[in-house]
Structure 1
Amino acid sequence: MIDQLETTILNALQFIYEELGWLGVTLVMVIENATGLTPSEVVLGFAGWMLIEAHNLPFSTVFLGGLFAAIGSVIGASLMYWAARLGGRPVVQRAAKIFRIDTRHIQRVEGMAEKYGVGFIFFGRLLPGIRTLVAIPAGLTGLSYPIFAAATFIGSYIWCTIFIGAGYFLGHEWHILSGIVKQAAPYALATAVIAGMGFLIWQLWMKKKAVPVKIEID
């Protein structure tokens, strides 16, 4: 079942996609990543069906669509990153009130970012519920923008391509993606935490390995 909110979103998406095509997907993903207001699984799944499957285009179009969506994701996430970096916590708190973002979610994301470092920026882009928030701790801590942008693009491209492809394969049933994401979210979070811990252990091991050994000669 599609609720009233998703119906409203779909009507808007249909108009945007009909007028702008894949540039419309880029535009919507900018908004989604800068505000967190639009569910990306709906945006991308609908694009996979309407812009590819419904037009009988080849499956390879999915990878091109993922590129357009990932570019929009980076632009939107960059807006959030620079707002946090230049405006600091007061701007973040003000934006959270405007867009009705639970500050507890932001605090949780900050804690995970502090614990797992830059690896969390990549893995965080693959986590439903917090993927649009990872730009905030990156900006607050002054993480290098090129590193942030690269991690965001790679993670976003994977996420976007998967859901566009799912929309392509599911066809008219693409809307079930929303329910699947909600059910899979806890497992995705657990997987990401384990992966993040592995990344952290690998970093510590590499640093330890790089420490030169001093040899004293009598």
Structure 2
Amino acid sequence: MDQFVKSLMEDFGAFGIALLMFLENIFPPIPSEIIMPLAGYQAATGQMSIVSVLVAGTIGSLLGIIPWYFLGYFFGKQRIMALAARWGRWMTMTPKDVDTADGWFRRHGYWAVFLGRLVPTVRTLISVPAGLARMPFALFLAFSAIGTAIWTAGLALAGYLLGQNYELIDAYVGPVSNAVIIGIVALYIYRVVTFKPAPARDDGRA
């Protein structure tokens, strides 16, 4: 799997990184925790600049969360809960997950969008309550961009620093990343198989 990610980056450069980060927000099995360190690692080997990696990762991730914002904006909480209950098996999203993200937003207000982008469990779903609350789109993008840039920069720079010693660690990068991805896919399959959504408390907000 790491070879697939690497080849996509090699073939399409920054666009490949942006595409992967976009898909990461739509379909969970290839997470940013794998994509961005590998992109940073490749930047360290001279295949692209670290700046292009950071910009592409941030833009791709932002594009991936916009549909979730408009899902909340146009659908309303009741229909999103029903969607999660029916199709959440494949998205690994339960009504309770929606409630958790909504609770984050209620507690922290607009800052929840920034903070949520730094927390793996709510990174994507925090966009839904932002849409539900009709948070101004420009403000949503601004807060999301700051949080996303910090998240992607941290991951990419970790890979970049490791890449400075790529001759020493190159033999380990493939097996380790494959093991991580296999574990993530296994967890995804487990969640699909054992998915049993419990109805979440609904405050009646449409």
TM-score (norm 2): 0.72
Matched to 1:153, the amino acid is: A
1:124–1:130 contact (8 Å) kept in structure 2: yes
Please provide the CA RMSD for this pair.
Answer: 2.4
Q: Secondary structure at the match of 1:130?
A: coil
| 8 Å CA contact 1:92, 1:136 repeated in 2 | no
1:167 match: 159
Contact kept, 8 Å, 2:113 with 2:143, in 1: the verdict is: yes
Once the 2 structures are TM-superposed, how far is the Cα of residue 128 of structure 1 from its aligned partner? 1.8
The equivalent residue for 1:85 is 73
Q: How does 1:10-89 map to 2 (within 5 A)?
A: 10-50=2-42, 52-55=43-46, 61-89=49-77
| Unpaired segments ≥5 residues, structure 1 | 1-7, 179-218
CA contact (8 A) 2:40 2:158 kept: yes
| Distance of aligned partners of 1:149 and 1:25 in 2 relative to their CA distance in 1, 3 Å threshold | same
Deviation at 1:99, TM superposition (A): 1.0
Q: 2: distance between equivalents of 1:56 and 1:64?
A: 11
152 and 36 in structure 1: CA distance in 2 versus 1, 3 angstrom threshold:
farther
The equivalent of 1:146 in structure 2 is 138
For 2:82 and 2:27, locate their aligned partners in 1 and report how far apart those are by CA, in whole Å: 13
Find the counterpart in structure 2 of residue 135 from structure 1: 127
- Of 10-19 and 109-118, more deviation after overlay is shown by 10-19
Distance, in Å, in 2 between the alignment partners of 1:93 and 1:122 is 27
**Larger of the two Rg values belongs to structure:** 1
Equivalent residue pairs, number: 167
Is structure 2 residue 97 aligned with structure 1 residue 109? no
Contact 1:26–1:72 (CA<8 Å) still a contact in 2?
A: yes
Higher relative contact order (CA 8 A, sep 6+): 2
C-alpha change, 1:98 and 1:67, in structure 2 (3 Å) is same
Amino acid in structure 1 at the alignment position of 2:144:
T
Partner amino acid for 1:107?
Answer: D
Q: Is the 8 A contact 1:37 1:99 kept in 2?
A: no
Moved over 4 A (4+): 173-176
Contact 2:39 2:159 in 1 (8 A): yes
TM-score by length of structure 1 reads 0.68
Gaps of 5+ in 2: 164-169, 181-206
Identity over aligned pairs, percent: 26
Where is the helix percentage greater, Structure 1 or Structure 2?
1
Counterparts of 1:128 and 1:78 in 2: how far apart (Å)? 17
Residues 39, 92 of structure 1: CA spacing in aligned structure 2 closer, same or farther, 3 A cutoff? farther
Amino acid at match of 2:129: P
